[in-house]
Amino acid sequence: LWYSENLLTPENKMKYIDSHAHLSQGDYALDLDETINKAVRNDVIHIIDNADSLDSFENVLNTKKAYPNIIKAAIGIHPEFSGKGEDYLNTAIDFITSHIDQIDAIGECGLDYHYLSGTSKEDELNTFRVMASIAKQYNKPLVVHSREAFDDTYSILKGIRPDKIQLHCFCYSKEEAKQLIDLGLNIKFSFGGVLTFKNSLWKITFLLVKVIGFKFIREFL
């Protein structure tokens, strides 16, 4: 969840943005309406719904159409689906560019060298470069998934310089966070489930408060 002082109401009540969800990939087929309404009742004002593959592109846009005030649509190819070949990637590019007015962010996309099943580093690098370039070209935020791939993630962001970047589920060190901050780009760090891993808890909490500071955790879209 994304917290920001800008999200406080005049009564000092906190509002939230769910910065990374996958509502449109089937798991919520039976209770999507209930899930979204429950979030809204609990002061969530936006949910960024992420596609991960061609199969979920239309679904995310349909969810946004059904809940236009709540849902923001992030459309992209996750590294897991980057090994599907040239036609697949070209179809994704065509879809994204022809629906760009309905799309709020490009993603989720990125590099994951931990799980290389059905993909290669080259496939992942190629797909991520394409996604980052589209984000840059259309001035859209880029939602980045990066795991065990800091150097390549860093060099692609440094080379393409998308205008806004969300490093979803940040899992690198504070030195690496500092390197990214020093690029001078508009980068937001988000901390996901890794916060619950036994050895990561104090390390990441320290990083969050001491290095990045709460000023970086603010409204993104």
Coil, helix or strand for 141? coil
Non-local (6+) Cβ contacts of 202 within 8 A are none
Binding-site residues, in ranges, read: 20, 22, 108, 145, 168
Whichever of 211 and 221 has its CB closer to Zn ion, that residue is 221
Specify whether the CB–CB gap between 64 and 181 falls below 8 A: no
Whichever of 104 and 108 has its CB closer to Zn ion, that residue is 108
Whichever of 5 and 27 has its CB closer to Zn ion, that residue is 27
Shortest distance, position 50 Cβ to Zn ion, whole Å: 5
Shortest distance, position 146 Cβ to Zn ion, whole Å: 12
Binding-site residues for a divalent metal cation, in ranges, read: 20, 22, 108, 145, 168
For residue 48, what is the DSSP state? Answer: E
- Helix-strand-coil percent breakdown of the chain, rounded to 5? 45, 20, 35
Whichever of 52 and 152 has its CB closer to Zn ion, that residue is 52
Shortest distance, position 145 Cβ to Zn ion, whole Å: 6
Residue type, 37: N
Shortest distance, position 5 Cβ to Zn ion, whole Å: 26
* Distance from C-alpha of 123 to C-alpha of 82, rounded to nearest angstrom: 6
Sole window of 101-109, 134-142, 175-183, 201-209 interacting with Zn ion (rule: CB under 5 A)? 101-109
Whichever of 51 and 213 has its CB closer to Zn ion, that residue is 51
Sole window of 7-15, 80-88, 108-116, 146-154 interacting with Zn ion (rule: CB under 5 A)? 108-116
Instruction: State the residue number with the nearest CB to Zn ion.
Output: 108
Locate the DSSP E strands across 113-207.
Answer: 142-147, 164-168, 186-189
* Distance from C-alpha of 151 to C-alpha of 179, rounded to nearest angstrom: 10
Classify each residue of 139-165 as buried b or exposed e, where b means 16 or more C-beta atoms within 10 Å of its C-beta. Answer: ebbbbbbbbebbebbbebbeebebebb
| Contact pattern for Zn ion over residues 56 through 95, marking x by CB under 5 A | ----------------------------------------
Shortest distance, position 108 Cβ to Zn ion, whole Å: 5
* Interacting residues with Zn ion (CB under 5 A): 108
